[in-house]
Chains A and B, each alone.
Chain A
Amino acid sequence: MIAFLRLIGMVLIVELIFYLLIGIYIRSLRREELEEEWDRRHPERAGPSPERAEFVRRSMVGFSKTLQARLVGLVLVLPVVAIIVIIVIVNYN
C-alpha cells in the first residue's frame, strides 16, 4: 500500500513539473505569435511598445483559461491512462 501511495506521489510530482513547464512554454509561444501579429498589423509601430504589451496582455486572458483545461487533459490524464494500459497489457493478457 505504501508503495502504491509512493507511486501516486511520484507520478503527481513529475506531472506537476511538466504541467508548469509546458504551461510556461505554450504561453511563451502564444505571446511571441501575438507580438508578431501586432507587428504585421502595425508595420509602422513594430517592436516593443506599451501598446503592443497591452494588446498581448488582453489577448492572453482567454487563452490562459482554455490552455489550463487542455493542459490538465494532456499532462495529468494521459500518463495515468498510459499506466492503466501498461497494467492491463502486462497482467491481463
Chain B
Amino acid sequence: MRWFLTVLGVIFGIVVFLFLDYTLPAKQTVRITNTYNRLTDIGANAIFYASPDTGTVQNAQGQRDVRFIDTVRPNGKPYVYRNEDTGWIWPPYFKYDSSNLHAQATDLRSTSANPEWVSVTSYGWRIAWLSIYPNAIAIKPVAGPEVKPFNWAAQIILLILGALLFLIWRMWNQFRERTIDPAVRSADEAWDRIDARADAARASARGRLRRGWDWLRGR
C-alpha cells in the first residue's frame, strides 16, 4: 500500500510539473527568419491549439489557418512558434492581438548575414512528432544572442501559487484544530459515557443474577 501511494504521489508531482511547464510563460532569445500562415491539420493534438471558438477559422475537414513564426536559436537550431489568439478561458493569457504580433514579427525578420535578435515570450512545447508549437505572446528586440531577459512573469505567478497553497494549508489546519478535533473528542467522550453506562448496566445485571442464583440455592 505504501509503495502504491508513493508511486501515485510521484505521478501527481510529474503531472503538476508538466502542467506548469506547459502553461507558464517562457522566454527565449531567437532570430526571426520567416512569418507565414499555413492551412494546418488539427486532429488528436487539438488540445495543444487554441480552442476553436477564439476567432480562428476552421474548415469542414478540420483544418485551420494558423499563423507561424520561424526562428533560429543562437546555437543555430530552428524553433517554430505558432501565433494564435488564446480566447477567454484557458490558458489565461487573454491574447487577442495575434495580428499585431504577426506584423511586429514580420517587421523584425532578419538574415544570418545581418542578424537581429529578439526575445520571444511564449507558452507551450515544441514537439515535432505531435506537430505542436508553442504560442508566441510577445516579441521584444534585444541587443544580442547572449542577452536573456529575466522571466519575471513566471516567477510572480509561481510565488502567487505558492502563497495560495500556503493559505489553503493554513486554512485546513485551522479547520482541523477547531472543527474536526473537537468533534472527534466529543464523539470519543460520548462513546466513553455510553461504554461506562453499559459497564454499569452489565455490572448491576450481573449483581441481580448473582442474587437470584443465590436465592435459588437457598442461601
Q: Tell me the A residues contacting B by CB distance below 8 Å.
A: 2-4, 6-7, 10, 21-22, 24-25, 28-29, 31-32, 83, 86-87, 89-93
Contacts and interface: CB of A to CB of B under 8 A. Distances in A.
Chain A CB count within 10 A is highest, among B94, B95, B97, for: B94
A3 B174 contact: no
Interface residues of B, number: 21
B96 A91 contact: yes
Interface in B96-129: 96-97, 100
A91 B217 CA distance: 101
A28 B88 contact: no
Given A3-B88, A4-B88, A21-B171, A90 B95 contact: yes
Given A90-B95, A90-B97, A91-B96, A29 B174 contact: yes
Contacts of B174: 25, 28-29, 32
Contact of B175 (A22, A28, A86, A93): A28
Interface string B67-104: 00000000000000000000111001111110010000
A90 B88 contact: no
Contacts of A25: 170-171, 174-175
Chain A CB count within 10 A is highest, among B87, B92, B138, for: B92
A30 B165 CA distance: 21
24 contacts: A3-B53, A3-B54, A3-B88, A4-B88, A7-B89, A21-B171, A22-B171, A25-B174, A25-B175, A28-B174, A31-B178, A32-B174, A83-B94, A86-B93, A86-B94, A90-B93, A90-B137, A90-B138, A91-B95, A91-B96, A91-B97, A91-B100, A92-B97, A93-B138
A83 B53 contact: no
A80 to B, nearest CB: 12
Contacts of B89: 3, 6-7, 10
Interface in B155-211: 167, 170-171, 174-175, 178
Contacts of B178: 28, 31-32
A10 B89 CA distance: 9
Contacts of A4: 88
Nearest to A8: B88
A2 B94 contact: no
Given A28-B178, A32-B178, A91-B97, A83 B92 contact: yes
